[in-house]
Amino acid sequence: MTAQIDINADLGEDPLAEARDIALMAHISSCNIACGGHAGDAGSMARMLRAARDAGVAAGAHPSYPDRAGFGRTSLDMPLPALIDSLIVQVTELARVAADLGVALTHIKPHGMLYNDLADRVEMAEAVADALHRAFPRLALVGLAHGAFESAAAKAGARFIAEGFVDRGYTPTRRLVPRSQPGALIAGDDARAAQALAIATGQPLTADDGSLIHVMAQSLCLHSDSPGSEQTALRIAEVMASKGISIKAPGEPPDDPADLLRR
């Protein structure tokens, strides 16, 4: 079987950057569309879904804590049932717009601090994974590789897509370095592409304390608002192609080996 990796990006979060988001779709295989919790509205959802459809990019929901003022970057102290209700409403709204456009959603990836909380809070992760899988049984759940959400998805019987990051630093516990700390962001196309290749091929990464870690992931996130994200995506594509690694959404069939020989 030919090696492959998914490259994803979070899109539809900034109305002033939609042209960038649409351009980036030429270089990724899946996308996560903001659906109202931290950003996005019916119009932006429709525009992102159309662009994903036209580019052949797998589209998923990107729900968050209901926190538009804080862009979903703060943990909200809210009852789990209320949080779950909000997440289901957000994903349902995107699914409604997608159905109108004839686009089949493929996955759900939480956003921001909710994403981090689901990686670390077992009780929350289990409740959210179970609820989302019951509400949307055909959609895969996406989350941080080696986090609580991964085991929670397995417990719920949901398909899980483990995610790594090409433009963020890691701690020794395989968590992301907080954005407020040194080493949180990886700058430069070559450094980002090197991290992408390391994760895709199971090679070690250097954590922020200098130790070596392994991140086992099926999908790699490139933040659309990272400076130079489109050029980074091109560089990653070049590096992956040089190693015979296809960029495909999870679940897509691998390339026929003969196709690689014809490239």
Cα separations in angstroms, 262 against 211, 257, 258: 41, 9, 6
pLDDT of 261 > 90? The answer is: no
pLDDT tens track for 132-163: 999 999 999 999 999 999 999 999 999 999 99
pLDDT tens track for 40-83: 999 999 999 999 999 999 999 999 999 999 999 999 999 999 99
Q: What are phi and psi of 49, to 5 degrees?
A: -65, -40
Name residue 142's beta-bridge partners.
Answer: 161
Q: What is the spatial distance between Cα 116 and Cα 31, in angstroms, rounded to a whole number?
A: 19
Q: What is the spatial distance between Cα 204 and Cα 168, in angstroms, rounded to a whole number?
A: 15
Which pTM was predicted?
0.93
Residue spans per domain, the chain: 4-261
Q: What is the spatial distance between Cα 246 and Cα 242, in angstroms, rounded to a whole number?
A: 10
3-state secondary structure of 148: helix
Q: What is the spatial distance between Cα 111 and Cα 74, in angstroms, rounded to a whole number?
A: 11
According to CATH, the superfamily of the domain at 4-261 is Glycoside hydrolase/deacetylase (3.20.20.370)
Mean pLDDT over 185-195 rounds to 95
Q: Which two tokens stand for residue 149?
A: 């959400």
Name residue 5's beta-bridge partners.
Answer: 247
